[in-house]
Amino acid sequence: MSVLALLDRFRLPQHRLVSLLPLAALILLLPLLFPSAYYYRVAALIFIFAIAGLGLNLLMGFAGQVSLGHAGFMGVGAYAVAIGPSHLGIPPLLSFVLGALLSALVAFVVGRPILRLKGHYLAVATLGFGVLLAIVFTNEANWTGGPDGMTVPRLILFHWPLRGAETWYWILAASFLVGAALALNLIDSPTGRALRAIHDSEIAARVLGVDVAEKKLMIFIVSAVYASVAGSYLALINGYITPDVSGFLRSIELVAMVVLGGMGSVVGSLVGSAVLVILPQALTLFHDYEHLVLGLIVMGVMIFLRGGIVPSVAAALRGWRP
Amino acid sequence: MAAVTVLSAERLSISFGGVRALDGVSFDVASGIVFSIIGPNGAGKTTLFNLISGLSVPHDGHVRLCGKDVTALPPEQLARRGLSRTFQNLQIFSHLTAVENVMVGRHRHEVTGIVADLLHLPAVGRQNRRTRERAAAALARVGLEDVAEWPAGSLAYGDLKRLEIARALASEPTVLLLDEPAAGCNPVETREIEDIIRGIVDDDVTVVLVEHDMRLVMNVSDRIHVLANGRTLAEGAAAEVRMNPAVIEAYLGVRGTSEPALAVG
């Protein structure tokens, strides 16, 4: 919320999407600083995880429901664009959409029973769900290639095969901005207010007529679609997919991004993703101690910027204002 | 006047671990009045509110709202049928602004669809504006218009008490349950709450009040229902209840006092 407050200050004539303008400008200008195609690729990866982070942030940061299995939905999206064209003869773009719909369906079926759980119980149930999907992707070797994974056919848009890090940069930047706009729309809507209300007091929300179970299920489905879209993009940009995409570590990484960037902050999803994508690349000079240093940095951020990076910085900026 | 009964309790009973928290409590609330439920601590007042508002289910008995049996309906369905309440220990949406808290109160009047909300279709924008106007009006009614855009978590205790009332009012209830609205408030704030309650009744909303501040209860109540140890002790107009020997005994533990024991809270 504090980030929304910060975004509020950038609002010119109070339109909720004006806050995305500085972000869009940054995305436009950033490539001027890129010395090589490698940077486009890193930025593209950041956008992919930021899209998954946006969805998870709607679930965790706004509705207050944790999921430790969201990489499972990334896996559904990723394998949809891999299996659809190569095994079923479905065009890649259609597979992409069908993957998102399948994720929504899976979220609908799984969400009903497990969203009745709260707190740690919900965390463990979603964890189990994510592990289950990862096992399916590993074991159904005839379809998925098993632990070795499978190649993903290139996405062809109107006879134009998508290739090259630069092309993907623009596609993913646009997708992220669309995802962020949809998230901001939702936050300032009856559904969004109800979700944020549920986070603070379920009892009061129910007494005011909010169907808590239905709202939780809706946002679970929405966040699953975000993850699925991110998974599809990841598979397409890499051209290859292994069950790791849906693994437990990936789920934890997604949660870490949301918490690190800032719960309930749209911009925080991007910042959290940037930190967890860039840091491992930057820390390769530590060789064997890479993960140790990464862990220490993440711990340090959480200790000193408790609300996550973006909300903490926003609060500090507010404090400095005369 | 022969007013219609909007809310009735019929032999409501519930036990917690062998303790009879409520034992066969019955009453009828006529439309457009302030109906107070009083009693010593542990008498079962909040338990009764939780049964009426669907937060817990009675082991026996029925609740009727506008003639329909609503026993054991979940709170969100009761809300849609025109029942709203506030809480003794506040249940504020502290991360939302004051006006957003009240906007959630309008939820039952809003048409929502997740896809329309994601795309922010023009209808959503129009509805948002309407909801915000209504919410601002409800805030103004309880004198909180100046803090509308503040995060609710940063408001003072007395303001939060009134914010809960505004939020409940925004849902345009037929029956409003107020659970100790003046608890922890100073005399000035209590006087404001009294005025707010009068204003609510003037708008034809029926108020059921649980309150410990006897001055407030005596000033605003049309009828008073007295509970003790989960049972009905007495019911009547304020003046009758105040002089009732059984009520005096329950509060003071002595028999035969001729003083009106409940004159001041």
Q: Which residues of A touch B101 (CB under 8 A)?
A: 197
Check CB contact of A191 with chain B, cutoff 8 Å. yes
Query: What pLDDT, on the 0 to 100 scale, is given for residue B97?
Result: 95
Residue B17: both structure tokens together: 């671990």
Q: Is residue B88 part of a domain?
A: no
pTM here is 0.90
Is B155 in the same domain as B188?
no
Angle CA B47–B48–B51, to nearest 5: 90
Check CB contact of A202 with chain B, cutoff 8 Å. no
Closest residue in B to A8 (Cα–Cα): B149
Check CB contact of A33 with chain B, cutoff 8 Å. no
Plot region of B4 (φ>0 → left; ψ -120 to 50 → alpha; else → beta): beta
User: Do the Cβ atoms of A1 and B95 come within 8 Å?
Assistant: yes
User: Do the Cβ atoms of B118 and A185 come within 8 Å?
Assistant: yes
pLDDT in tens, B54-79: 999 999 999 999 999 999 899 999 99
Query: What pLDDT, on the 0 to 100 scale, is given for residue B172?
Result: 94
CATH code, B255: 3.40.50.300
Confidence of residue A287 (pLDDT cuts 50, 70, 90): confident
Angle CA B102–B107–B113, to nearest 5: 135
Is B117 in the same domain as B182?
no
Reported ipTM: 0.89
Closest residue in B to A2 (Cα–Cα): B95
User: Do the Cβ atoms of B131 and A192 come within 8 Å?
Assistant: no
Q: Please give the Cα distance from B204 to A202 (Å, whole number).
A: 29
Q: Please give the Cα distance from B58 to A130 (Å, whole number).
A: 40
Question: What domain range includes position B234?
Answer: 1-82+173-265
From the list A190, A199, A218, which residue is nearest B107 (CB)?
Answer: A190
Q: Is residue B87 part of a domain?
A: no
**Mean pLDDT of all residues in chain B?**
90
The residue-averaged pLDDT of A248-260 equals: 91
**Mean pLDDT of all residues in chain A?**
89
Q: Please give the Cα distance from A128 to A69 (Å, whole number).
A: 7
Checking if the pLDDT of A1 tops 70, the result is: no
Is B184 in the same domain as B262?
yes
User: Do the Cβ atoms of A209 and B131 come within 8 Å?
Assistant: no
Q: Which residues of A touch B174 (CB under 8 A)?
A: none
Is B152 in the same domain as B181?
no
Q: Is residue B89 part of a domain?
A: no
Query: What pLDDT, on the 0 to 100 scale, is given for residue B51?
Result: 95
Overall number of domains in chain B:
2
Of B172, B206, B228, which residue is a domain's last?
Answer: B172
Q: Is residue B42 part of a domain?
A: yes
Chain A nearest C-alpha distance from B137 (Å):
18
Strand partners, B15: B20
Check CB contact of B89 with chain A, cutoff 8 Å. no
Chain A nearest C-alpha distance from B20 (Å):
24
User: Do the Cβ atoms of B117 and A212 come within 8 Å?
Assistant: no
Query: What pLDDT, on the 0 to 100 scale, is given for residue A221?
Result: 97
Is B62 in the same domain as B183?
yes
Of B123, B156, B172, which residue is a domain's last?
Answer: B172
Is B166 in the same domain as B202?
no
User: Do the Cβ atoms of B79 and A207 come within 8 Å?
Assistant: yes
Check CB contact of B20 with chain A, cutoff 8 Å. no
pLDDT in tens, A143-176: 888 888 898 888 777 767 777 888 999 999 999 9
Checking if the pLDDT of A11 tops 50, the result is: no
Check CB contact of B127 with chain A, cutoff 8 Å. yes
Q: Is A34 exposed, middle or buried (0-12, 13-18, 19+ CB in 10 A)?
A: middle
From the list A188, A189, A200, which residue is nearest B95 (CB)?
Answer: A200
Is B265 in the same domain as B180?
yes
- Domains recognised in chain A with CATH numbers: 2-320 (1.10.3470)
Q: Which residues of chain B have pLDDT under 70?
A: 1-2, 252-265
DSSP state of A58: I
Chain B nearest C-alpha distance from A189 (Å):
6
Query: What pLDDT, on the 0 to 100 scale, is given for residue B265?
Result: 41
Q: Is residue B43 part of a domain?
A: yes
Q: Is residue B29 part of a domain?
A: yes
Q: Please give the Cα distance from A199 to A59 (Å, whole number).
A: 10
Relative to beta strand B19-30, strand B5-16 is antiparallel
Is B130 in the same domain as B186?
no
pLDDT in tens, A99-112: 999 999 999 999 99
Query: What pLDDT, on the 0 to 100 scale, is given for residue B255?
Result: 52
Query: What pLDDT, on the 0 to 100 scale, is given for residue A13?
Result: 43
The residue-averaged pLDDT of A228-249 equals: 93
Is B182 in the same domain as B78?
yes
Is B143 in the same domain as B191?
no
Of B116, B147, B172, which residue is a domain's last?
Answer: B172
Is B7 in the same domain as B25?
yes
Residues 128-187 of B with CB under 8 A from A: 128, 131, 151, 167-168, 171
Is B136 in the same domain as B201?
no
Relative to beta strand B231-236, strand B206-210 is unpaired
